[in-house]
């Protein structure tokens, strides 16, 4: 009758602790991301456009120490932001939308996984990939710069390296909640990807149009506000037309509001249906 | 944390029985529900539902919209009950739903597979999320895919699978971590007759390994075939429960009698029989044959004597045996064997 003759075999193995299960999600996203040709191409292009020149100049031209002003401009936050939003759109767009459209949420949440674990796993995987673009190259640049410096004031250089690490972490994390939020609002990956990308440009265009009249509007461009924030982290003075309060309010809400919406969207799936 | 799994598997639940005249074996339950009420807005999906689920294969039977899936989801903590609680191996769903879930396998009724993954990826991924080690989960995925009968197709993306194959993969992901408690929500839905039979055979094999398997279905024949115990639910309420063989056994002392003869002798026999015992039901079958449901005729030889005297032939004389459909229909009429 074509009935499978294989008997059911019990399994008696060790199971990992509940709090380790988030790493499964994280690792799977990271590995899946690295296998994607699009992600690889984007990472290489971004490196070439954003950092290749800086590496060459650091290696070729002598420098006494790692200088905060120099590193802040070498960080190239504006250029980095353009690639970062593209990479975010590529890697986060399917992370939630695919589970929404396939209803595979129930497979997670019928297991010992909480909403928080699920989100930490998904966001963690995305952040790890983002760090290959936004954290690793600038930090590497700073390290190379310290290794090749001619002066002996290593202490001041190390402090700048510290700022580079902080700036790298900030830019790495910055777009991820936003991308995940858009992914949680639709069942179609393409909508999420295009939405992430387009809203970035719409904000940039609005910012450009209004700053014709008042330069304070520049803060609502994510790329501009990100580069002001990086300048600030490196201890550089901001232009007088930038209101620090408005800048930080914008940056904080760009992270917090999407994170809250995302949590609410996933929580509704975990309990309720 | 394998402790949680062992908890579910080994602890004896501490609780008081739901019904004083409950089924035999109280105290050995892995899984019970108390006064469970779940509503979606104005719709009351479960209405004070209490049940004890014994070990073995248990059928959760009820018409569409009865609340079967809601009961399963509430047990997993996927819907929040307004009232009541579920106890699995001594764990309380209100406070320990994570530990409960860790010892449970769930095969949802609807599509839930990630179409871009292949079966091996999917099953081993969810094995890992259930806490298996990488090597274990890969090995075990192949084992359970062999078991459910997914062959080389396991390396193809799930979006190319037929409904029957998807059902098998859904079952595979539910058993990959070998949970002591298994919820199968309409496992045969969308499958052809042969596929159904295979699926039921798989359920039977899983059930023979000391598990509690709750199978929801609205197909009576299937449930009757594989389940040791049956819980009938309707409108969110428990209407009937019991061992399959007891449910279909019919009422004690009720016999079914089939006789054959010409019209005159049949009438005479029925009249005489009516004086000797109670005739509950009489069905004519084409003029020459009748089937009677009788109660209170202890002595079979008396009936044979009457038959001889009135010139009818006894074709069949045996205790009443219902099929599940009959049980089902009777429980909805509010009657049934202990109703009336
Ligand atoms: N998410 C929901 N929102 C609103 N109503 C719901 C929801 N889920 C279930 N219901 C309602 O609750 C009742 C019980 O539904 P449930 O899915 O548990 O039935 P079922 O016995 O599984 O039926 P079926 O055999 O069709 O699967 C139905 O009236 C249904 O409409
Ligand atoms: Mg259902």
- List pLDDT tens digits, range B116-142: 999 999 999 999 999 999 999 999 999
Nearest bound ligand to CA B62? 1
Residues of chain B positioned with their CB less than 8 A from the CB of A32? none
Which candidate, B211, B214, B210, B246, places its Cα nearest to that of B227? B214
Please compute, for residue B109, the number of CA atoms within 13 A of its CA located in the half-sphere on the CB side: 17
Interface predicted TM-score (ipTM): 0.89
Q: What is the mean pLDDT of residues B47-56?
A: 90
| Structure tokens, A17 | 């602790």
Would you say the pTM of this structure is higher than 0.90? no
For residue B320, what are the contacts with CB-CB under 8 A and spacing of at least 6? B249, B250, B251, B254, B255, B256, B293
Whole-angstrom distance, CA of residue A152 vs CA of residue B263: 122
How many residue contacts between A and B have a Cβ separation below 8 Å?
132
Query: Cβ contact (<8 Å) for B112 and A13?
Result: no
Nearest-Cα residue of chain B relative to residue A96 = B114
Distance from CA of A8 to the nearest CA of B (A): 6
**pLDDT band per the 50, 70, 90 thresholds, residue A273:** very low
| Structure tokens, A256 | 């917090």
| Structure tokens, A23 | 């790493």
- List pLDDT tens digits, range B29-50: 678 899 999 999 899 999 999 9
Domains detected in chain B: 3-103+179-247 (3.40.50.300), 254-320 (3.30.70.260)
Whole-angstrom distance, CA of residue A250 vs CA of residue A252: 6
Which candidate, A6, A25, A52, A272, places its Cα nearest to that of B175? A6
Nearest-Cα residue of chain B relative to residue A267 = B78
Q: At what angle do helices A77-102 and A22-35 cross, to 10 degrees?
A: 110
Please compute, for residue A52, the number of CA atoms within 13 A of its CA located in the half-sphere on the CB side: 7
CA geometry: angle B209, A18, A32, nearest 5 deg:
95
- List pLDDT tens digits, range A147-168: 988 888 888 899 999 999 999 9
Cross-chain CB nearest to B115 (options A20, A102, A271): A102
- List pLDDT tens digits, range B165-222: 999 999 999 999 999 999 999 999 989 999 999 999 999 999 888 889 999 998 888 8
Whether A133 has a pLDDT exceeding 60, the answer reads yes
Q: First vs last Cα of chain B: how many Å apart? A: 51
**Quick one: pLDDT at residue B220?**
80
Nearest bound ligand to CA B108? 2
**Quick one: pLDDT at residue A127?**
97
Q: What is the mean pLDDT of residues A197-210?
A: 90
**Quick one: pLDDT at residue A271?**
65
CA geometry: angle A137, A140, A142, nearest 5 deg:
110
Closest ligand 1 atom to residue B63 Cα is 25
Beta strands in chain B (DSSP E): 31-40, 43-53, 56-61, 83-88, 91-92, 104-107, 181-185, 212-217, 229-234, 237-243, 254-260, 278-285, 289-295, 313-319
Three-state SS annotation for B211-279: CEEEEEECCHHHHHHHCCEEEEEECCEEEEEEEHHHHCCCCCCEEEEEEECCHHHHHHHHHHHHHHCEE
CA distances from A93 to A33, A99, A180, A193, A203 (A): 12, 11, 7, 5, 19
Q: Does A75 touch chain B (CB under 8 A)?
A: no
């Amino acid at each position: 009758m074509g009935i499978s003759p294989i008997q059911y075999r019990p399994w008696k193995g060790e199971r990992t602790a509940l709090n380790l299960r988030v790493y499964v999600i994280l690792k799977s996203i990271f590995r899946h991301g690295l296998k994607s040709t699009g992600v690889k191409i984007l990472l290489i292009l971004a490196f070439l456009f954003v950092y290749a020149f800086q590496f060459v100049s650091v290696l070729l031209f002598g420098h006494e120490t790692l200088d905060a002003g120099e590193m802040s401009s070498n960080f190239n936050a504006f250029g980095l932001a353009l690639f970062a939003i593209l990479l975010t759109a590529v890697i986060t767009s399917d992370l939630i939308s695919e589970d929404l459209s396939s209803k595979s949420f129930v497979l997670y949440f019928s297991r010992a996984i909480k909403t928080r674990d699920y989100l930490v796993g998904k966001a963690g995987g995305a952040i790890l990939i983002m760090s290959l673009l936004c954290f690793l190259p600038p930090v590497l640049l700073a390290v190379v710069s310290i290794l090749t410096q001619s002066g002996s004031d290593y202490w001041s250089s190390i402090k700048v390296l510290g700022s580079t690490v902080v700036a790298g972490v900030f830019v790495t994390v910055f777009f991820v909640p936003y991308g995940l939020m858009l992914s949680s609002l639709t069942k179609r990956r393409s909508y999420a990807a295009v939405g992430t990308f387009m809203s970035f440009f719409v904000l940039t265009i609005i910012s450009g149009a209004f700053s014709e009249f008042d330069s304070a509007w520049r803060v609502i461009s994510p790329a501009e506000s990100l580069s002001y924030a990086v300048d600030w982290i490196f201890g550089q003075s901001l232009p007088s037309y930038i209101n620090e309060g408005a800048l930080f309010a914008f940056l904080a809400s760009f992270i917090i509001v999407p994170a809250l919406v995302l949590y609410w969207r996933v929580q509704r799936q975990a309990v309720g249906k | 944390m394998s402790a949680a799994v062992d908890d579910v598997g080994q602890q004896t639940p501490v609780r008081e029985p739901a019904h004083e005249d409950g089924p035999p074996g109280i105290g050995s339950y892995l899984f019970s529900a108390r006064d469970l009420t779940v509503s979606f807005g104005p719709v009351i999906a479960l209405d004070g539902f209490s049940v004890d689920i014994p070990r073995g294969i248990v059928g959760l039977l009820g018409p569409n919209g009865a609340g079967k899936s809601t009961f399963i989801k509430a047990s997993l903590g996927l819907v929040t009950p307004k009232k009541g609680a579920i106890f699995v191996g001594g764990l309380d769903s209100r406070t320990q739903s994570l530990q409960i879930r860790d010892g449970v396998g769930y095969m949802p009724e609807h599509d839930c597979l990630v179409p871009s993954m292949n079966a091996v990826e999917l099953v081993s991924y969810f094995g890992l999320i259930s806490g298996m080690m990488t090597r274990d989960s890969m090995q075990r995925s192949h084992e359970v895919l062999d078991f459910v009968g997914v062959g080389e197709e396991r390396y193809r993306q799930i979006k190319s699978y037929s409904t029957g194959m998807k059902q098998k993969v859904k079952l595979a992901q539910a058993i990959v971590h070998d949970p002591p408690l298994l919820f199968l929500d309409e496992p045969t839905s969308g499958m052809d007759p042969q596929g159904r039979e295979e699926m039921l055979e798989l359920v039977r094999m899983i059930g023979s390994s000391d598990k509690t398997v709750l199978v929801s279905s609205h197909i009576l024949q299937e449930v009757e075939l594989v389940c040791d115990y049956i819980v009938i639910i309707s409108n969110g309420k428990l209407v009937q429960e019991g061992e399959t063989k007891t449910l279909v056994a019919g009422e004690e002392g009720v016999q079914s009698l089939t006789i054959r003869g010409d019209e005159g002798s049949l009438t005479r026999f029925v009249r005489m029989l009516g004086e000797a015992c109670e005739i509950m039901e009489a069905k004519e079958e084409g003029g020459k044959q009748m089937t009677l449901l009788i109660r209170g005729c202890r002595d079979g030889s008396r009936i044979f004597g009457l038959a001889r005297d009135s010139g009818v032939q006894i074709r069949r004389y045996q205790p009443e045996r219902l099929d599940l459909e009959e049980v089902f229909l009777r429980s909805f009429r509010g009657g049934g064997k202990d109703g009336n």
